[in-house]
Amino acid sequence: DVKVTQSSRYLVKRTGEKVFLECVQDMDHENMFWYRQDPGLGLRLIYFSYDVKMKEKGDIPEGYSVSREKKERFSLILESASTNQTSMYLCASSPGGPETQYFGPGTRLLVL
């Protein structure tokens, strides 16, 4: 079974704080993704990575950065959290090729 884990299910932070969201997958997948999901807007891609130390911007990268130092771990960083970054954050991974993406359980982040 594919397993994608995220460091926290729920997180509360203050405006201006630096926030780290961690994602780990145990299936040796090349590709990893970060999405945010908001009511009425669906899943929107923030960043993705095809390989270690590689990153690509998605549709809404502003205010975020990522790090992929090891193949199994993909971190999302909010450099200075703002209230409009309150959201559900979902990490996903996939092997190369046509296979589907597998999602982690999500982190619900509240920025006060």
Residues at the contact surface with other proteins, assessed by CB under 8 A: 31, 33, 35, 40-43, 45, 48, 50, 58, 90, 96-98, 100-106, 108
Other Cβ atoms within 10 Å of 70 Cβ, number: 10
DSSP state of 72: T
Shortest CB 41 distance to other proteins, Å: 7
Residues 6+ apart with CB under 8 A from 69: 52, 53
Q: Which is nearer to other proteins, 17 or 51 (CB)?
A: 51
Q: Which is nearer to other proteins, 84 or 100 (CB)?
A: 100
Asked if 14 and 112 touch (Cβ cutoff 8 Å), the reply is yes
DSSP states along 5-31 = EES-SEEEE-TT--EEEEEEESS--SE
| Nearest distance from C-beta of residue 98 to other proteins, angstroms | 6
Compare residues 85 and 104 and give the one whose CB is closer to other proteins. Answer: 104
Q: Which is nearer to other proteins, 20 or 50 (CB)?
A: 50
- Closest distance to other proteins from the beta carbon of 102 (Å): 7
